[in-house]
Structure 1
Amino acid sequence: MVDRLVHSEINSRRIMQVEQCFGSSGQPLAMPDRVLVGEGILTKMCRKKPKPRQFFLFNDILVYGNIVINKKKYNKQHIIPLETVKLQSIQDDGYFRNGWQIISPSKSFSVYAASSTEKSEWMAHINRCVQDLLTKQGKQQSDVEDSPVWVPDSDARVCMNCHKSEFSVLNRKHHCRKCGAVVCGPCSSQRWLLAEQASKPLRVCLNCYEKLKQGSGGGGEVVAEGKGTANNGNLDSSGDSSDDENEADGLATSDQPTFYGGSATKN
């Protein structure tokens, strides 16, 4: 689909511009045979509310970040290898339309496009890149367990584990990294090493903890709440390392994504 852009000067310039927009906070993106396939704004469902994020689709990775200055500066860069990515369409539900889930072992979340056409183009291009990458590598998609898509905070009034504890300013909401449920502190007091998601033990609900412990024959790493594992900014965040209340929120308006290989829905 984009083979003609490999090693081209225009592709190198595009990738260099993306690197410059992330600045020193981002990882280098220029690699042999890497092509920038497309870019545009999608609305990512974060922990507390939907927020616009800038996405860059390459032929081997998906990159996104927070928008500081549109088309000029981004931060909090996230990189997801495409060979692990699966897509699942989301049915329209009132205000939330044209959405799908991006699912992988390291990170899973929901995104929304501004129109059904944009949704179709994004999904077609991502799926095409995944299939082309696996074909070139002579691989099939891994059967490693995927990370969960987190339940939004707004969907839970009480703990989804004990079904008793009501959330409040003092009784904070937490997310289980194994199932994505919103749970209270006592019901998420244990942590487990989920190697595909992080190198440190992550918060899990008591139900998942018991299942993980049984599955490992009673082994595994137990870390009591507030002990052993420091909060590194990711343990209770949305996967964007912060959920900045000062950021613009809501579903993004159309910014007409650009796909450099042409339309993927007409082929």
Structure 2
Amino acid sequence: MSDQLTFTLENRDRIQAVESSFGPTGKPLFQPGRVLIGEGRLLKQSRRGPQPKAFFLFNDMLVYGSIILHGRWHKNQKIISLEDIELEDMEDGLTMSNQWLIRTPKKSFYVAAASPAEKRAWMEHIEECRSQLLQSASRRRSSTFAVTWIPDSASAICMRCSGKFSFTHRRHHCRHCGFVVCDSCSKERVMLEHIDCTKPLRVCKLCYTGLMKKENRWSGGSDGKSGSYEEDAAAPELELSSNEEPMESHAPSRWVTPEMDSWSPYVYLKPEHTKPLTT
């Protein structure tokens, strides 16, 4: 009983420390029954290339954010419920080794660990926590996921009209297929409710045509109601959601080199205490 109480207090202090590291802009993280399982740094593929991020795994959610002030503080807090996560193992890429894909309804992105062992630890613990959450809380797993964006550096031309990008002819991303496209090829907007239910999002001409055809088929149904784009939006094409992430204040190149000594190790905190006593 004393060990359980000690763990409960230590767990609360750890969660509050993570909460404080995001400052006033972060959301409250502590609540009864929530356990901080592990934490560490991973490379996250953004539209402008790999960026180091601080990740925190809880027994019911995954939290990550940008690293500032040598890792003492964080910003741009993102919270993902574990029932909304689907993992896919990936082979090593050109810019990231030990990588895997994290799919969610609003955002799908690649992350990479410092070693194969750390990658396995992250994936196994995320899957274990997710499985326990779905069983214990009778929650439903998500079936619709956002596509991953093709990084800006992957194409010097629009992937629809082949026009060359320049300072004035800028890159954009179709939220439906993830392709890098120009403004002329992505002027249309549609509602993709699993990503953002409050506003229409940018899509390329080809996806817009396909979505409109699907809507027409749905609207011709017996109930006369317009259909949803959810099914098409989950197509496994090739990061991110409708919100584009800004460049980090530090150069990411030092995280891409083989020198991994500065990476934070993955820490697994007492797996047997998945639901500590709170009284």
Does the alignment reach a TM-score above 0.5?
yes
Change (3 A) 1:248 1:257: farther
Partners in 2 of 1:142 and 1:98 — Cα distance?
Answer: 25
Aligned residue for 1:201, secondary structure, equals strand
Gaps of 5+ in 1: 221-233
d(CA) in 2 for partners of 1:86, 1:167: 34
Letter in 2 for 1:156: S
SS of match in other structure, 1:12: helix
Which whole-Å CA distance do the structure 2 matches of 1:140 and 1:147 have between them? 17
Match of 2:124 in 1: 124
TM-superposed CA distance for 1:236, in Å, is 6.4
* 2:35 aligned partner: 35
**Secondary structure in 1 aligned to 2:97?**
coil
Counterpart check, 1:243 vs 2:247 = yes
- Residue in 2 aligned with 1:223? none
Q: Kindly, what percent of the aligned residue pairs are identical? A: 40
Identify which of 239, 248, 270 aligns with 1:261: 270
Following the alignment from structure 2 to structure 1, what is the Cα–Cα distance between the partners of residues 136 and 70?
Answer: 34
Q: TM-score, normalised by structure 2?
A: 0.80
Read off the aligned partner of 1:96 and give its amino acid letter: M
- Listed one character per residue, the Cα deviations across residues 198-247 of structure 1 (whole Å, up to 9, x for unaligned) are 22111111111112222222769xxxxxxxxxxxxx8562xx3x224x32
Give the CA deviation at 1:69: 2.2
* 1:197 equivalent in alignment to 2:189: no
Give the letter aligned to residue 261 of structure 1.
K
Amino acid aligned to 2:11: N
Tell me which protein shows more helix as a share of its residues.
2
Would the alpha carbon gap of residues 36 and 5 (structure 1) be closer, same or farther in structure 2, given more than 3 Å must change? farther
Which residue is 1:229 aligned to?
none
Q: Take 1:107 and 1:236, find their aligned partners in 2: how far apart are those partners?
A: 9
- Is 1:22–2:22 an aligned residue pair? yes
Residues 87-126 of structure 1 aligned to structure 2 (within 5 Å)? 87-126=87-126
Counterpart secondary structure, 1:63? strand
TM-score, normalization by structure 1: 0.84
Q: Compared with structure 1, are the counterparts of its residues 150 and 181 closer, same or farther at alpha carbon in structure 2 (3 Å cutoff)? A: same
Letter in 1 for 2:247: D
Higher CA-based Rg: 2
Q: Residue 126 of structure 2 aligns to which amino acid in structure 1?
A: I
Deviation at 1:9, TM superposition (A): 0.6
Unaligned runs of 5+ in 2: 220-225, 228-240, 273-279
What is the alpha-carbon root mean square deviation over aligned residues? 2.3
Matches within 5 A, 1:167-182: 167-182=165-180
Structure 1 stretch displaced more, 103-112 or 131-140: 131-140
Residue 76 of structure 1 and its aligned partner are, at CA, apart by 0.5
Task: Quote the Cα distance in structure 2 between the aligned partners of 1:101 and 1:262.
Answer: 24
